[in-house]
Structure 1
Amino acid sequence: DLRDKPATRPENQPIVDALVDYGDSHLYSGHRGKGISHLRAARAIRNSSTVVTFGDQASKAIDMVGERVGAKIDQILEHGHADSEYEDEEGEVDEGEEYGVRERESTLPPLAREVRGKHAQVQKNQLLVDALASRGEEQLAIGHTGRGTAYLRAARQLRDADKEVKSSAEARTISRIGDKVAAYIDTIVG
């Protein structure tokens, strides 16, 4: 498992973790080709002695890292995550065109199982964590993998928060969340 062994270069660990979350979500939501390619890139970066500073550098220096993964690396370095809550609106290439035909699986990705695996540190956050996790699972079920992953990552970070979250502004201090996730949080706590 990619999470068991730390990156050869500790500076690469956040990139590896984000690519694993992103790849797992795609793999388990039926985007097998996209999931596998991101997981292979995560493994290659984890095992590399090169410190990744930007996507183009990684795609040239590390096998298994192509241009698309390089673009995700740039996003990770800029935003702290690989998920995109706007992926369908940005005109993403259809999965079948680049990574193969989408296959449906009924199992949840590891990130979803992890979020559901333990309760929020602050009990008052549990309703918010459950709502975000449910929304993420719904998004995954209808094929919005990046959006689903964004909700699940926010749920995991709020689950592990050590203070009560009463607004999206407070959530943003704990987690790097986008506008859609923030708006959803405000509908729940609002």
Structure 2
Amino acid sequence: MFSIEQAKQMAKRLRASLEGRNQATSHSTALELVAHQLGYKDWNTASATLPQELDQPAITFDRAIPILRMFDETKAREFYLDFLGFSVEFEHRFEADLPLYLGISRNGLQLHLSEHHGDASPGSTIFVPMHNIELLRDELQGKRYGYGRPDIVQQGWGQVLEVHDPFGNRIRFCQS
């Protein structure tokens, strides 16, 4: 939820950005554009509906980090690090002989892999919106991974490149 003041600030930033691109616009036009972006018919409707100030902090979410179940550290590293190109962010074990909890990332995508029984169900699917899916396909196919050579499939919602990890989990990379 936005307040009127926040919407006005958005319009001010929009106007400055457009002027920086030699596309001068009036303040009222910027307000109308912001109102439309917020889902209102026009600025009058938005200003009548939006609160003057937000009385309480809004609930917001950062991006989700999926947790995927794994059963074999060596196979997980081969698939996620060597094949998919992720890097290790952290590793955690309560003791040396206990299950591994592994944080990995690649270009903004974070995943957690866990050997802990209750953390995740094997056979999960995660959907990952992305850009430049052809580059990812070419990279993966070039690695000649022995357990899969994924290709792009055109779906109604975009191009999908699906990979299957050694534990039955699927990652569906999608470019719309």
TM bracket (short chain) = under 0.3
Question: Considering only CA atoms, is the larger Rg found in Structure 1 or Structure 2?
Answer: 2
Structure 2 length normalisation: TM-score?
Answer: 0.23
Greater helix content = 1
Greater strand content = 2
Structure 1 length normalisation: TM-score?
Answer: 0.22
Higher relative contact order, chain-length normalized (CA < 8 Å, sep 6+): 1
